[in-house]
Amino acid sequence: MRIILATGRKAEGMVRDAVRTANVARKTCEVLTQDLDIAAFSTPKTLRKALEEHGGSEKLDCNLILVSGFCKADFSALEKEIAIPIRLGPRHAYDIGEALQFAEETEFSPNAPADVFLAAKRKEMAKQQLYELESRVKEAFSLRGVKIGGGARMKVCAELVDATLMKEEEIHRTIEHFLKSGADILDIGVHIGAKPDAVKKAVKTALTVAPEVPLSIDTLDAELIRVGIETGVDMVLSLNKENISEVGDELRGNDVAAVVIPDRDGTQKTNESLFANIKMAEEYGIKRIIADPVLNAIGYGIAESLYNYYSFRLRDKSTPLFFGVGNVIELMDVDSVGINATLAGIASELSADILFTPECSDKARGSVRELRVASEMMMLSKARKSAPKDLGLDLLMLKEKRSEPVMRISDNRLIVAKKNETWELDPKGCFRIAICEVEGKEESDKKICALHSPTGKRIIGKSAPEIMDTILRLNLVSLLEHVSYLSRELTKAELALQLDRSYEQDEALF
């Protein structure tokens, strides 16, 4: 396959370097420099002229022409005229190598830059592979159709902490958030001192909101476990020697799954205790058993608990494993995303089957989504026998996979920036910017709100540009300084929204 990369004078060197370092035969790729400085300003006219000078009157010997991914021009007429596809290449030179790798097997887009198109394509391929892998699994058992064990994807169990203290609306809201985040199983957290009626109400509410999603109850209290079983839960957290004899018959009779834990009589014999409790559960006829050696937090014996998981798997290759990631996340003042991914990777190597987390504290918000993506990454990593990178899925939030080269400039004629120390009140009024939730909406997604005084107009949206454009369209500003200030603050608010952080006007975000 022969490809022409059409560029401009300023980017020519970078494009040639990218082609030279790409893992493709150079004879298959040629750089064509048009008579313009900026490649993004390519037009059918500039490209036609460059092609004529390149090939003369002869028919071009190429199969594909890639122009800058920043191009906005319509090349469809020229493409028809020369009978060669003209498509958008990547926006940045450093992505050219990757685009060339996929050129032979991929039909690039005339509208979407190659790097964006390829990212979407890789994600689509990853999702398709995940579906196929999960379809082929012969699970140990299933909960409402959700496969557990047997090599199925690690499932994410999201705990509604103290659900027995929540109002129905709060249970609704939390479940909707968890399901949107990718939770596979919902866990009803039972507060200490909860009464049977509170358990029954919480379970019934959850079943009303998500009747198709597996539901578990989180308590050691035998009476409350029985109430949960009677009300319709699919799984119980947790069983040990203290309560197995009291609820074993109900679990067997209703074919409810059970997470079995070791007893609380010291860590030295954790696995012996766990195996003894599993045997006891089996003797009561409980068929669907999940083992939980219990993951301890850092500072409370995480290394020993991981050793217990490892030792358990050496002795028992098939019993599904429960991995309580939230125990670690909630007791660390560290961003959750990297920890969740790392623990999911460790869990995958231990052949764990359920990843458990609450989102109890503000710093742990987003953990369900992070674990869902991480579980998918680890399944793909195992299937492809590779590290969890270049999968089509990632958990990169603040850091880039590849950074663009920094622009280099000469030091002549530079103007050193200086902030104005004074400001002038806009005659058309001022704005109060905040993050808000709109009351009365079924979906309570957070949005940016710009409240104008004196008109009282409230402009809401998800992005800084759409709010700023609306402010300008409504003619609510008259000073350039005010426009500049609002743009800065709205951009901060948008970042806060994307990162799920608090926003305070005129205060630093970080």
Does residue 368 sit in the same domain as residue 451?
no
Domain boundary among 97, 125, 153: 125
In a domain, 390, yes or no: no
Distance CA 183, CA 204 (A): 19
Domain boundary among 384, 418, 451: 384
Does residue 356 sit in the same domain as residue 444?
no
Strand order in the sheet with 64-67: 29-33, 3-7, 64-67, 86-88
Which of 197, 129, 175, 83 shows the shortest CA–CA distance to 391?
A: 129
Asked if 368 and 336 count as a contact pair (C-beta separation under 8 A), the reply is no
Does residue 216 sit in the same domain as residue 252?
yes
Domain boundary among 125, 148, 177: 125
Q: How many residues does the chain have?
A: 510
Q: In angstroms, how far is CA 174 from the centroid of its own chain?
A: 18
Distance CA 105, CA 203 (A): 50
Instruction: Kindly list the distances between the CA atom of residue 439 and the CA atoms of 84, 443, 464, 497, in Å, as whole numbers in the listed order.
Output: 54, 9, 22, 18
Distance CA 147, CA 144 (A): 8
Q: Tokens in use for 347?
A: 């869990």
In a domain, 22, yes or no: yes
User: What are the strands, taking DSSP E only, across 283-345?
Assistant: 289-291, 322-324
HSE-CB at 371 with a 13 A cutoff on CA atoms is 36
Does residue 307 sit in the same domain as residue 349?
yes
The torsion angle over the Cα atoms of residues 174, 178, 183 and 187, rounded to 10 degrees, is: -20
Does residue 193 sit in the same domain as residue 336?
yes
- Residue 301 is given by DSSP the state T
Q: For residue 216, give the CATH number of its domain.
A: 3.20.20.20
Instruction: Kindly list the distances between the CA atom of residue 198 and the CA atoms of 84, 164, 165, 192, 251, in Å, as whole numbers in the listed order.
Output: 69, 5, 8, 12, 21
Query: Per-residue confidence of the chain (510 residues) as pLDDT tens digits?
Result: 899 999 999 999 999 988 888 766 655 889 999 999 999 999 999 999 999 888 765 667 889 999 999 999 999 999 999 999 999 999 988 889 888 888 888 889 999 999 999 888 889 999 999 999 999 999 999 999 999 999 999 999 999 999 999 999 999 999 999 999 999 999 999 999 999 999 999 999 999 999 999 999 999 999 999 999 999 999 999 999 999 999 999 999 999 999 999 997 655 578 999 999 999 999 999 999 999 999 999 999 999 999 999 999 999 999 999 999 998 999 999 999 999 999 999 999 999 999 999 999 999 999 999 999 999 999 999 999 999 998 999 999 888 887 777 777 888 888 889 988 888 999 999 999 999 988 765 556 889 999 999 999 999 999 999 999 999 999 999 999 999 999 999 999 999 999 989 999 999 998
Amino acid 173: pLDDT: 93
Q: Tokens in use for 407?
A: 């622009």
Does residue 184 sit in the same domain as residue 286?
yes
In a domain, 402, yes or no: no
Amino acid 103: pLDDT: 85
Distance CA 223, CA 229 (A): 10
CB atoms inside a 10 Å sphere around CB 389: 9
In a domain, 224, yes or no: yes
Asked if 356 and 324 count as a contact pair (C-beta separation under 8 A), the reply is yes
Does residue 346 sit in the same domain as residue 494?
no
Amino acid 437: pLDDT: 87
One-character DSSP codes across 191-213: -TT--HHHHHHHHHHHHHH-TTS
Give the DSSP H/E element, type plus range, for residue 335.
Answer: none
Distance CA 412, CA 382 (A): 54
Distance CA 240, CA 222 (A): 11
In a domain, 399, yes or no: no
Amino acid 112: pLDDT: 92
Asked if 336 and 322 count as a contact pair (C-beta separation under 8 A), the reply is no
Does residue 149 sit in the same domain as residue 14?
no
Distance CA 321, CA 261 (A): 11
Q: How many domains does the chain have?
A: 3
Does residue 245 sit in the same domain as residue 305?
yes
Does residue 208 sit in the same domain as residue 325?
yes
In a domain, 231, yes or no: yes
Distance CA 374, CA 184 (A): 13
Asked if 359 and 500 count as a contact pair (C-beta separation under 8 A), the reply is no
In single-letter form, the type of residue at position 271 comes to N
The answer to whether the Cα torsion of 303, 308, 310, 311 is positive or negative is positive
Amino acid 410: pLDDT: 80
Does residue 161 sit in the same domain as residue 119?
no
Structural domain boundaries, residue 97: 3-125
In a domain, 73, yes or no: yes
Q: pTM of the full predicted structure?
A: 0.86
Asked if the bond preceding 113 is cis, omega within 30° of 0, the reply is no
Asked if the bond preceding 367 is cis, omega within 30° of 0, the reply is no
In a domain, 416, yes or no: no
CB atoms inside a 10 Å sphere around CB 293: 27
Distance CA 460, CA 447 (A): 6
Does residue 28 sit in the same domain as residue 150?
no
Distance CA 223, CA 234 (A): 16
Asked if 46 and 35 count as a contact pair (C-beta separation under 8 A), the reply is yes
Residue 245: CB partners within 8 Å, gap ≥ 6? 280, 284
